[in-house]
């Protein structure tokens, strides 16, 4: 029998080396299998509804405490109400203790402190008004003639004699289009807060009718106001109309927010709101529809956040000198954004000189020249084309021009949430009503001057201008 002592030393060392290599390979394969199992579990969770779809499934040993960290963030607190906001006489709260609860000493009056409690009243009683509409009949032709009142519809009789008023419908539309509550849940909220009974179909039919009337007229005025604005931010997101793919477009100015739903997102749809002879500046992303020849006369500012993200995606895939082109371009664009912030804070003395220097360096960096890397060549061609038209650093020229398209993206956030809970629009009429109501309500939110949105929407229903600048 052959033992370890009889085996040559070199053979013994070779076996040990093979065992070590196999053990290392097993360890690597074990780690790979564990990672693949995690990815498989994540893919299986993504394919079905989960209570916590973003959970990683691992508990943190030392979780961070909730709330604002000491010394960070903005500290805020509820401010005391104004004198005219008080709805009841003050309540005196006396000290009931006859002596100090700590040592038993004598108490003497030192002063008083004010405390406030803001609450909602008990269930309000809906305001119901009876209208005694006089009816006459023509003695010649027998035609009936009814009395007219601004709060009573001409067809409000018989089975439809009892209706809800403008404020109820304005509150319902504000909850649906403004807050994002699904229309099927709006009657529950109204009944719980006001005691008013309302059906889902009544809300939908009223929205379709008003979108063709006063709300539609206000919406058209908002669309026309975009043409006169100095700067407009625009972006789009996916939508559905009757189950078919569509696009929801947002146009944000200093005075108005306009939405529109269209089946396609081309320059034709953009020019419905921003014409080809638009005299202001349009802040956009790098979608092809904005670079169409029909919009070549419109001055644009491309979103530098999108540009920097595209550059970063290329840089991450390169090594060595292949990273230098993207890294330098990213540094120049970030320096331009910091220059703008410094000028806005009043910390830049020679702003004009620094601005021209950055423009020269960016143009020089994007000049036409041979590029061995195809991805860098693509960036050079695409961004150089935009730089030739002044679309990269135009924000350095005007205080109202922003380097990113964040305003339009924020305008779409509420619509994205509504898309998740309401499944978009069932038909073209519903899409038009969504565009009109959401545009009017968001504009009232921004420009209402502290006026409740429900009151502003009631003014729109009455065809009375609520805010001369917005509606």
Of 404, 432, 462, the domain-final residue: 404
Q: Are residue 178 and residue 289 in the same domain, yes or no?
A: yes
461-465 long-range Cβ contacts below 8 angstroms, 24+ apart: 461/166, 461/169, 461/170, 461/210, 461/214, 461/215, 462/150, 462/166, 462/214, 463/214, 463/217
- Cα–Cα dist 209/216, whole Å: 9
**Residue 356, CA distances (Å) to 216, 353, 362 in order:** 46, 5, 10
The closest alpha carbon to 126, from 66, 174, 186, 190, belongs to 190
Q: How many beta carbons lie within 10 A of that of residue 270, not counting itself?
A: 27
Of 354, 375, 404, the domain-final residue: 404
What residue numbers bound the domain in which 328 lies? 304-404
* pTM of the model as a whole: 0.77
pLDDT tens digits, one per residue of 86-101 = 998 999 999 988 899 9
Q: Are residue 240 and residue 385 in the same domain, yes or no?
A: no
The runs of H, that is alpha helices, within 174-236 are: 186-194, 200-211, 214-227
Q: Are residue 256 and residue 341 in the same domain, yes or no?
A: no
pLDDT tens digits, one per residue of 315-345 = 998 888 889 999 999 999 999 999 999 888 8
- Cα–Cα dist 376/240, whole Å: 37
Q: Where are the beta strands (DSSP E) in 201-347?
A: 231-241, 244-252, 257-262, 281-284, 299-302
**What does DSSP say about strands 144-146 and 281-284: parallel, antiparallel, or unpaired?**
unpaired
Q: Are residue 288 and residue 173 in the same domain, yes or no?
A: yes
DSSP, collapsed to helix, strand or coil, labels residue 212 as coil
Task: Identify which has the larger pLDDT, 356 or 463.
Answer: 356
Task: Give yes or no for a contact between 401 and 231, defined as CB atoms under 8 angstroms apart.
Answer: yes
The predicted model gives 64-68 an average pLDDT of 78
pLDDT tens digits, one per residue of 87-141 = 989 999 999 888 999 898 999 989 999 999 888 888 888 889 999 999 999 999 9
pLDDT of residue 51: 61
Report the domain count for the chain: 2
């Amino acid at each position: 029998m052959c033992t370890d002592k009889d085996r040559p030393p070199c053979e013994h060392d070779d076996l040990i080396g093979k065992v070590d290599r196999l053990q290392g390979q097993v360890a690597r394969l074990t780690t790979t299998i564990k990672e693949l199992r995690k990815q498989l579990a994540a893919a299986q969770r993504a394919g079905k509804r989960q209570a916590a779809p973003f959970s990683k499934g691992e508990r943190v040993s030392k979780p961070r405490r909730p709330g604002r960290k000491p010394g960070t963030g903005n500290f805020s607190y509820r401010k005391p109400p104004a004198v005219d906001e008080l709805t009841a006489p003050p309540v005196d709260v006396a000290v009931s203790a006859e002596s100090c609860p700590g040592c038993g000493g004598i108490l003497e009056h030192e002063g008083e402190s004010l405390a406030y409690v803001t609450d909602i009243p008990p269930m309000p009683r809906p305001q119901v008004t009876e209208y005694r509409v006089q009816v006459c009949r023509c003695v010649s032709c027998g035609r009936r003639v009814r009395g007219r009142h601004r709060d009573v519809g001409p067809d409000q009789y018989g089975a439809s004699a009892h209706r809800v008023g403008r404020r109820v419908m304005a509150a319902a539309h504000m909850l649906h289009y403004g807050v994002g509550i699904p229309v099927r849940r709006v009657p529950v909220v109204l009944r719980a807060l006001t005691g008013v009974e309302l059906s889902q179909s009544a809300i939908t039919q009223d929205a379709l009718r008003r979108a063709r009337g006063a709300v539609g007229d206000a919406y058209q005025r908002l669309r026309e106001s975009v043409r006169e604005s100095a700067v407009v931010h625009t972006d789009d997101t996916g939508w559905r109309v009757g189950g078919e793919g569509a696009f929801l477009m947002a146009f944000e100015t200093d005075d108005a927010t306009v939405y529109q739903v269209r089946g396609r997102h081309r320059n034709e749809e953009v020019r419905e709101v921003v014409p080809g002879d638009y005299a202001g500046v349009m802040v956009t992303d790098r979608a092809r529809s904005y670079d169409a020849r029909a919009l070549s006369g419109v001055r644009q500012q491309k979103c530098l956040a999108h540009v920097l993200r595209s550059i970063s995606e290329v840089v991450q895939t390169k090594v060595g000198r292949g990273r230098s082109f993207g890294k330098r371009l990213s540094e120049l664009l970030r320096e331009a954004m910091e220059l703008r912030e410094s000028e806005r804070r009043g910390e830049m003395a020679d702003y004009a000189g620094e601005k021209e220097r950055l423009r020269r360096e960016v143009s020089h960096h994007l000049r036409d020249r041979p590029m061995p890397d195809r991805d860098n060549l693509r960036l050079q061609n695409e961004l150089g084309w935009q730089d030739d038209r002044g679309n990269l650093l135009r924000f350095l020229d005007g205080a109202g021009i922003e380097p990113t398209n964040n305003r339009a993206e924020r305008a779409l956030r509420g619509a994205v949430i509504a898309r998740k809970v309401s499944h978009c629009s069932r038909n073209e009429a519903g899409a038009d009503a969504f565009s009109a109501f959401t545009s009017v309500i968001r504009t009232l939110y921004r420009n209402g001057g502290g006026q409740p949105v429900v009151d502003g929407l009631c003014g729109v229903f009455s065809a009375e201008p609520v805010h001369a600048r917005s509606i």
